[in-house]
Amino acid sequence: MEKFRIGKVTANKRTEGSNWSLYWRIGGKRYRRTTQTLLRQTAEEIATAVWKALQERDYVAVDHALSTPIPDSITFVDVLDAFEVTSPLLFKSLLEGQAPSSALFQITVGFEGWESRTWKGNKSIRKRLRKAWGDLQVKAITPTIIEQFLVRQEQSSSTSTRNHYLTALNTVLKWAQKYKLLSALPTRDVRHKRVVEHVPEALTAEEIGLLLEQLQPKEKKVVMFLHDTGLRVSEMTALLWKDVDLDRRIILIRNNKGSKDFRAVPLTNRTTRILTDHQDAIVKSDLVELYPRLERNLRDQLGIAASKAKIRHVHPHIFRHTFATELVDEGVPLETIQKLLGHKGISMTLRYAKKRGKGLREAINVLQR
């Protein structure tokens, strides 16, 4: 027989297949209640709530604690299904054939705090979590289980990837806690690890020139645009004509990483010509669609061109790094670069100051006698 005690509430479980029972006394009278849970962790939470209510003489709260436990049948996959759902009807269909759970049926919509690109970026993480924890009862997820899982991810990939898993998992479990599917957050004491600072790669002017020579006109146009504006690919693909002012030669970039703010990015002569020519050549639409194909296609074309040019590996984001590094080299203040890139904090921008020493050498040259 398993037993434990919370305050003056005693709990026991007679056999492996039996539910936990709670015992306490009020005015010399002994009370016994059987819970609806097989799990010790759940029983401890119920006993804690009962003891708190007894101390406050709130007997309604005692009944509530006993009548609304978190169902043991809810698995991590159940939680993830509910987290990912986009409509109540779809969620109801997910529950068909499952044992009724009042806790799950209270949920009418999934998590709404991520943008579409975050959902896309976390897809492989959620897929891996499904595979690893499939039918594991969500109540049984402990800090130890989480730490063991994160160690495996770090060993097979990197510390940064390990931190990405923890961030996604923490978001899912916090959401579950909000809907009373968890009473305690198992990720609360699991910390992110410090990542060795990565200095962003940047192409040289010579490498940019060699790459452009090998690109097709459409991809060449995109590379010049990204290089001259420092935009993320997602920002370029979301750019609207209403946010393009060719007369003033400026574009507005909205919803920077989920923020409602926007930033203004001036256009070079080259990017102004690119947008003007593009506007004249396409059918009128709200989106600029400078590159309507998938980002994967752009990556493939860049890889082919880089191979022909005999330069290092090139990816779309490297042009943003190159944009920032060139501005640092030319002595543009970091605060200005921060605004152009849309960084929330200066620490992200400071990485570029460590890339090349041109500005530092020029500063020392001032002291030459």
DSSP 8-state symbol, 138: G
> Of residues 139, 227, 232, 321, which has the active-site annotation?
232
Q: Would you state the structure tokens that stand for residue 148, as one six-digit string?
A: 């063991």
Q: What is the DSSP string of 193-217?
A: PPPPPPPPP---HHHHHHHHHHS-H
Of the residues 33, 257, 273, 356, only one is catalytic, namely 257
Quick check: is 317 catalytic?
yes
d(CA 271, CA 222): 10
Q: Answer yes or no: 278 catalytic.
A: no
Amino acid occupying residue 261: D
Tell me how crowded residue 175 is: count the other CB atoms within 10 A of its CB.
Answer: 20
The single residue of 13, 139, 165, 352 carrying the catalytic annotation is 352
- Tokens representing 360? 């530092």
Is 352 a catalytic site residue?
yes
Among this protein's residues, is 320 annotated catalytic?
yes
Give the active site residue among 164, 221, 227, 343: 343
User: Of 317, 351, 356, 358, which is the active-site residue?
Assistant: 317
Measured CA to CA, the distance from residue 16 to residue 140 in angstroms comes to: 16
Q: How would you classify residue 28: left for phi > 0, otherwise alpha for psi between -120 and 50, otherwise beta? A: left
Measure the CA–CA gap between 338 and 348, rounded to whole angstroms.
8
Q: Which of 179, 104, 190 is nearest to 142 (CA)?
A: 190
Strand partners, 53: none
- Rounded distance, CA 42 to CA 20, Å? 9
CB atoms within 10 A of CB 355: 17
Distance of alpha carbon 12 from alpha carbon 262, whole angstroms: 59
Q: Report the distance separating Cα 85 and Cα 81, nearest Å.
A: 6
Backbone angles phi, psi at 13, to 5 degrees: -135, 110
Sign for the pseudo-dihedral over CA of 78, 80, 81, 83: positive
CA 149/CA 337 separation, integer angstroms: 39
- Please count the other Cβ atoms lying within 10 Å of the Cβ belonging to residue 354: 13
Task: With both helix axes pointing from N to C terminus, report the angle between 205-214 and 217-229 in degrees, rounded to the nearest 10.
Answer: 160
Q: Which of 164, 221, 320, 321 is catalytic?
A: 320
Active site residues: 232, 257, 317, 320, 343, 352
